[in-house]
Structure 1
Amino acid sequence: MKRLARVLLAIDSALEAFSLLALLSMIIIVTVQVITRKLFNFVFFWSEEITLLLLIWFSFMGIAIGFREKLHMGMDSFTNLFPSPFNRVLDKVIYASIFLFGLYLIYYGWDFTKMMNESELAATGLPNSITYVIMPVTGLMTSVYSLLQFLGIETKRHQGLDEGEGEGSTNMDTTTAIIILCVSFVLLVLLRFPISLTLAGSSIITLLYLKIPLAAIGQTMVQGMNSFTLLTIPFFILAGQIMGQGKMALRMVNLAQLLVGSVRGGLAMVNSVACMFFGNISGSAVADVSSIGSVMIPMMKKKGYDTDYAVGVTVSSSIQGVVVPPSHNLVLYSLAAGGGISISSLFLAGIVPGILLCVTLMITSYVIAVKRGYQKGEPVLRKEIPGIIRDGVLSMMAAVIILGGIFTGWFTATESGAIACLYAFILTFFVYRDIPLSRIWLILQRTFRTVAMVLFLIAASASFGWVLAYLQVPGMMTDWMLGISDNPIIILLIINVLLLLLGAPMDMAPLILIMTPILLPVVTSLGMDPVHFGIIMMLNTGIGLLTPPVGTVIFVGCSLGNITIDQGTKAMMPFFYAMCVILMVLTYVPGLVMWLPNLFAK
C-alpha cells in the first residue's frame, strides 16, 4: 500500500509540475510572439496551435487536481441545515459521482483519442489525438482521487496555499427535458455538489433522457477550452498574484493617501481609491480585499476608526476590482456570450462606471465619517511625495501596459496579459526585490489553484450552454420575459433584481457563465448593447460577493477584521444601498457606460 502511495505521489507531482511549466511556457511563447512580430515582423506559424494545446492540457489537469485539493466550488448553505451524519453520507455520494465522472472522461476521452488519430493539426502536423489524450489521463486521476476520498484517505497536499447526432424531439420532449435540466441542476446545487460538476452532471442527465450521445458533453468541454482569448484569464491572474505577493498594496495605499488622505475620514477614502488602483492590477474583488484589507483595516483601527466600519468600507470598495479593467470576469462574460463581444470595448466600458462607483463610495464614507466624528487624516510629508509618486507610477504601469497596448492595437488582450506577467515579474523580483525568487513556484501553484476552478467552470458551462441552446431555452426566456411586459424599464429592473437575488447563493463566475447565455438575448431584443449589459452583469454579480450565504468578499473582510458576519454585513449596508443606486443609474443611462467604447470606435 505504501509503495502504491509513493507511485501515485510521484505521478501526481509530475503532472502538477507539468501543469505549472505549461503555464510558464504559454506566457513565454506569447511574449516572444509579441516581440518578434513588433521588432522583426516575424511570426512563428506554430505558436497559437501549441499554446492552445498547452491550454487544453493545463485546463484538464486543473480538473483532476482541483478535485484532489477540493477546490471546485459548491454551495453548502442548504446542507448545513442537516445533521452531520447526513452530510457524511452526502460526501460519499459526491465522491461516488466524481468517480463516475472520471470514468466518463476515461471512456469518451479514449474514444475521441482513437477517432482523432487519423487527422493532423494544421500548423504543426501533430496528430489531432494529442488534443484529446489528456481527457482519459484526467479521468484516471479524478477517479483515483475520488476513490481515495470515498475511502476516507486525505488527498489534499497544499494545505497552506489558500489565502453527435440525436433524435429530433417533440415539444413535450423539450418541455420535459428542460424540467429535467433545471430540477437536476437545482437539486445537485442544493446537495453541495461542486458547481462545475453540477453543470456537467445535469447536462449528462438531460442528454440521457433525450437519447443524444453523451460524447457531445466531452466534445463541447474541449471546444470550450479551445480559445486563444481564454489565455487572458490565467495571465491576468498570475500578474495579479505576483504583484499581490509583494508590497504593491502598500504602495497603492500610499499613493491614495497622498491624493485624498488629508480630508475628514480620509483613510476611508484612501481605502476606496487604493482598491480602485489595485483593481487595475488584480482585476479581482477577493484579491483587492485580501491585499488592501490586510493593510487598511489594521491602519484604520490604529487611527481610531471602528473595526466594523473599516471592514464595511474595504469589502464594498473591493467590488471595484470586478468592474475596472483588466477584470478577468469581463473576459469570462465575453466567452460566455460566445466570444463575439470585444474585450477591449468591455475594458473601456468599465472605466467610467469604475470611477463613478469609487466617487460614490467616497461620498458615502465621508457622510458616515462626519456622522461618527472621525477626524482628518495626517498630511504626507513633502520629502516623501516624490518617492510615493515614483512607486505608485511604477506599480500602475502594469495596468497602463495592459490597457494602453490593447487600446492602441499594439497587442491583443491575451498578449497584454503575458507582457503584464513579465513586467510584474521584473518589478517584484528584481526592481523592488519584495520577495525572493524562490517563491515563484509557490505563486505559480496559487495561480494554478485559482485558474483550475475557473477553467473547469468554463468547460462545464460550455456543455451546459450547448444543452440550453439545443433546447432553445434562451429564446423561450426572451419570449416569457417580453410576455410579462414590453417596457424595457420593467424588464431591466426584473433582471437586476434576479441577478442580485441569485448573487446571494451563487458565486460570481458560475453566475456569469450560466446566466449570460440566458439573459443576453433578452436584453439585446430590448435594444441594449451587449457591452453595456456586460458592465451591468459585473456590478450585479460583484454586489453578490457581499451578500451571505456565499459572500466570498464579506467572509474574507470579516476574517481580516476579526468580526462576525452579522457585524460586517450591517456595516456594509450603507455602501450596498449606494452601489444599488449606481447600478440603477448605469442601467438606465447607457451613455455613462458606452461613451468611451463609442468614442474609440470612431
Structure 2
Amino acid sequence: MTLLHLAGPALVVTLLFLLRTPITWAMALGALFFFVLNRDMIPLSNFAQEMAEGSQSVSLLALPLFVLAGCIMNASGITRRLINLADVLVGHMMGALAQMCTVLGTLLGGLTASSNADAAMLSKTLGHQMIRKGYSAAFAAVITSSASIITALIPPSIGLIIYGYLSETSIGRLFAAGLLPGFVLAVALMATTRIVAARRGYLPQRAERARWPEIRSALHDGLWALSIPVVILAGTRYGIFTTTESGAVVVVYVLFISIFVYREFRLRDLPEVLAEAARDSATVMVMICAAAAFGFYLSWEAVPQSLSGWIAGATDDPLLMLVLINVVLIVLGTAIEGSAALIILTPMLMPIVTKVGIDPVHFGIVFITNLTIAGITPPVGGMMYISSQILRVPMMDYAREVMPFLLAMLMVLVALSAFPQISLLLPDLIYGAANAPM
C-alpha cells in the first residue's frame, strides 16, 4: 500500500476545503479518488453503492418530515407570532433586539430543526432591524448566528437525529436530553448580550416590562407552535408513535394549525413549500451519502481504529476523556464543517466513549454542542457565513465580535461535560434511567 493510496483521498479533500469547495462535494470527490486508486481491489461501482447505503435507514425518514414541518411553519405566520412573544418577554431588557433574537432562536428550535435555517431567518428578520437601530453589523451577525446554535439542541434537531442514527442511540432520549442544555445555552447568550449591550448603550424596546394581560395574549397566540416539542416527547414516551413516525405526525399537526387555527396557510401554497423542503432535505441527505462513501475509505485504511487507539490510550477516566475529545473536536471544528464532522467522527468515537462508561445520550449532547459551536467559529463556520453574507460583515470584524459569545458557549460546554445530570435529568424522568434504544 503506497502513501498515495493511504493519504491521497485525505489530501484531495483538504485541497478542496482550501479551495472552498462545498463540504459535500469535497468528501464525495475524495471518496471517488480512493475508489479510482483501488479499482483493482474494489469495483468502482462500489462508490455508488456506498453512497446509496448512506441513506438506507428508517431513522433518517424523520429528517425530511421535520424539515417539511418547519417549512410549513415558516410559511404560515408562526415566525411573526413568535417575534411578538419574544418582544413581550424581553423587550424591556438592555439590547432588547439582540435578546429577542436569542429568545426567538430558542422558540424556533422546535420548528425549523436546522441551525442554518435559523441563522438565515434571524438575520433577515432581526439582523437588519438591529443595524437600523444602531447596533453594529458585526454584533448583529454574531448574535443571529450564535442564537441559531440553540436549534441544534431543541427537538426535533437534525443533528440529534443524525447522531442517534449513527450511534444507535434512542432519538427520543436525545430529544429530551437537549431541552435543558438548550435553555442553559440561551441564558448564557442572554447574559453575555446584557453585558455587551450595557457597555455600548444598546437600549430596550420598551420603557417597562409587559404586563400580564399582554404576556398572556402573546402566549396564547403562540401556544400552538410552542406545543410541538411537547407533542413529540409525549407521543414517543407513551408509545403512541415512534420517533420516526413523529415526523409525519408533526407534519399533519402543523398543517392543521396552519390551516384551521391560524388560517394563514392555503393549500395552493403547498407545492412551493414541498419544493423548499425537498431542496433542504436533499442537501442534508446528499451530505450523508457522501460521508458514507468517505467513511468507507477511512474504515478501509483503519483510520477510526488508529484514532480510537490513540485517544483510548490517553486515559480511562470518563471526564478526562471528554475533555480530550472536546479539545480534539474544537481543533477540528476550525477546519471541518460541523455536520460533516458529526457524520465522519461519530462512528470513530462511539467505541471509545462506551468503553470508558460515558452515557451515549450525554456524549451526544456534548458532541452536538461542541460541533455546533464550530458553526460560528472562523474560518469555516456555516452559520457565521450565512449571517455575515446576509448582513455584509467582513470575517475579521465578525471574528473580533464573536469572542465574548464564544467564551460563554465554551463555559456551557465545560458545564455539560462535567455535569451529566444537565443532559440526563429529563430523559431519565421521561423514559426512566436506562440507556437502551427506544
Range of TM-score over shorter length = 0.7 to 0.9
8 Å contact kept, 1:320–1:357: yes
8 Å contact kept, 2:319–2:417: no
Q: Where does residue 387 of structure 1 map in the other structure?
A: 217
- The answer to whether residue 221 in structure 2 is matched with residue 421 in structure 1 is no
8 Å contact kept, 2:334–2:380: yes
Bigger Rg, structure 1 or 2: 1
Q: What is the one-letter code of the residue matched to 2:124?
A: S
Mapping of 1:338-353 within 5 angstroms? 340-353=168-181
8 Å contact kept, 2:89–2:210: no
- The answer to whether residue 412 in structure 2 is matched with residue 593 in structure 1 is no
- The answer to whether residue 367 in structure 2 is matched with residue 541 in structure 1 is no
8 Å contact kept, 2:236–2:242: yes
Mapping of 1:182-581 within 5 angstroms? 182-191=10-19, 194-207=22-35, 208-209=37-38, 211-301=41-131, 303-337=133-167, 340-378=168-206, 379-380=209-210, 384-486=214-316, 488-581=318-411
Which one of the candidate residues 566, 574, 582 is aligned to 2:412? 582
What does the per-residue CA deviation read over 1:83-132, in whole Å, with 9 as the maximum and x for residues that have no partner?
Answer: xxxxxxxxxxxxxxxxxxxxxxxxxxxxxxxxxxxxxxxxxxxxxxxxxx
Structure 1 residues 328 and 174: CA distance shift in structure 2, 3 A: farther
Structure 1 residues 182 and 292: CA distance shift in structure 2, 3 A: closer
Shift of 1:236: 0.8
8 Å contact kept, 2:24–2:286: yes
What does the per-residue CA deviation read over 1:17-72, in whole Å, with 9 as the maximum and x for residues that have no partner?
Answer: xxxxxxxxxxxxxxxxxxxxxxxxxxxxxxxxxxxxxxxxxxxxxxxxxxxxxxxx
- The answer to whether residue 7 in structure 2 is matched with residue 179 in structure 1 is yes
Structure 1 residues 558 and 202: CA distance shift in structure 2, 3 A: closer
Aligned to 2:331, the other structure's residue is in SS state: helix
Shift of 1:590: 1.7
Moved more, 236-245 or 459-468: 459-468
Instruction: Report the Cα distance in structure 1 between the residues aligned to 2:133 and 2:334, rounded to whole angstroms.
Output: 33
Structure 1 residues 174 and 466: CA distance shift in structure 2, 3 A: farther
8 Å contact kept, 1:536–1:586: yes
8 Å contact kept, 2:172–2:236: yes
Moved more, 193-202 or 494-503: 193-202
Structure 1 residues 382 and 350: CA distance shift in structure 2, 3 A: closer
Shift of 1:192: 5.1
Q: What is the one-letter code of the residue matched to 2:49?
A: Q
8 Å contact kept, 1:468–1:474: yes
Instruction: Report the Cα distance in structure 1 between the residues aligned to 2:283 and 2:160, rounded to whole angstroms.
Output: 17
Structure 1 residues 563 and 181: CA distance shift in structure 2, 3 A: closer
TM-score (norm 2): 0.88
Aligned to 2:227, the other structure's residue is in SS state: helix
Instruction: Report the Cα distance in structure 2 between the residues aligned to 1:309 and 1:297, rounded to whole angstroms.
Output: 9
Q: What is the one-letter code of the residue matched to 1:543?
A: I
Moved more, 421-430 or 581-590: 421-430
Q: What is the one-letter code of the residue matched to 1:366?
A: R
Q: What is the one-letter code of the residue matched to 1:269?
A: Q
What does the per-residue CA deviation read over 1:273-297, in whole Å, with 9 as the maximum and x for residues that have no partner?
Answer: 2210111111211222222333323
Shift of 1:239: 0.8
8 Å contact kept, 1:200–1:217: no
Structure 1 residues 193 and 571: CA distance shift in structure 2, 3 A: closer
Instruction: Report the Cα distance in structure 1 between the residues aligned to 2:51 and 2:322, rounded to whole angstroms.
Output: 31
Shift of 1:565: 3.2
Q: What is the one-letter code of the residue matched to 2:184?
A: L
Shift of 1:243: 0.9
Structure 1 residues 265 and 194: CA distance shift in structure 2, 3 A: closer
Instruction: Report the Cα distance in structure 2 between the residues aligned to 1:582 and 1:479, rounded to whole angstroms.
Output: 28
Instruction: Report the Cα distance in structure 2 between the residues aligned to 1:191 and 1:562, rounded to whole angstroms.
Output: 21
8 Å contact kept, 1:348–1:597: yes
Shift of 1:530: 1.8
TM-score (norm 1): 0.65
8 Å contact kept, 1:475–1:521: no
Instruction: Report the Cα distance in structure 1 between the residues aligned to 2:172 and 2:393, rounded to whole angstroms.
Output: 40
Q: What is the one-letter code of the residue matched to 1:391?
A: D
8 Å contact kept, 1:319–1:542: yes
What does the per-residue CA deviation read over 1:227-286, in whole Å, with 9 as the maximum and x for residues that have no partner?
Answer: 221111101111111112332222112222333332333443222122101111112112
8 Å contact kept, 1:289–1:318: yes
What does the per-residue CA deviation read over 1:192-223, in whole Å, with 9 as the maximum and x for residues that have no partner?
Answer: 55533443443444444371233433333333
Shift of 1:359: 1.0
Instruction: Report the Cα distance in structure 2 between the residues aligned to 1:193 and 1:296, rounded to whole angstroms.
Output: 30
Instruction: Report the Cα distance in structure 2 between the residues aligned to 1:376 and 1:194, rounded to whole angstroms.
Output: 40
Structure 1 residues 198 and 586: CA distance shift in structure 2, 3 A: same
Instruction: Report the Cα distance in structure 1 between the residues aligned to 2:317 and 2:6, rounded to whole angstroms.
Output: 27
Structure 1 residues 489 and 176: CA distance shift in structure 2, 3 A: farther
Q: Unaligned regions of 5+ residues in structure 2, if any?
A: 434-438
8 Å contact kept, 1:238–1:447: yes
Moved more, 381-390 or 246-255: 381-390
Shift of 1:406: 1.9
Instruction: Report the Cα distance in structure 1 between the residues aligned to 2:31 and 2:141, rounded to whole angstroms.
Output: 40
Structure 1 residues 367 and 176: CA distance shift in structure 2, 3 A: same
Structure 1 residues 227 and 238: CA distance shift in structure 2, 3 A: same
Instruction: Report the Cα distance in structure 1 between the residues aligned to 2:220 and 2:23, rounded to whole angstroms.
Output: 44
Mapping of 1:116-195 within 5 angstroms? 173=1, 177-191=5-19, 194-195=22-23
Instruction: Report the Cα distance in structure 2 between the residues aligned to 1:475 and 1:286, rounded to whole angstroms.
Output: 32
What does the per-residue CA deviation read over 1:127-164, in whole Å, with 9 as the maximum and x for residues that have no partner?
Answer: xxxxxxxxxxxxxxxxxxxxxxxxxxxxxxxxxxxxxx
Structure 1 residues 486 and 385: CA distance shift in structure 2, 3 A: closer
Instruction: Report the Cα distance in structure 1 between the residues aligned to 2:310 and 2:212, rounded to whole angstroms.
Output: 62
Instruction: Report the Cα distance in structure 2 between the residues aligned to 1:481 and 1:463, rounded to whole angstroms.
Output: 24
Aligned to 1:350, the other structure's residue is in SS state: helix
Instruction: Report the Cα distance in structure 2 between the residues aligned to 1:196 and 1:425, rounded to whole angstroms.
Output: 32
8 Å contact kept, 1:260–1:270: yes
8 Å contact kept, 1:336–1:512: no
Q: What is the one-letter code of the residue matched to 1:236?
A: F
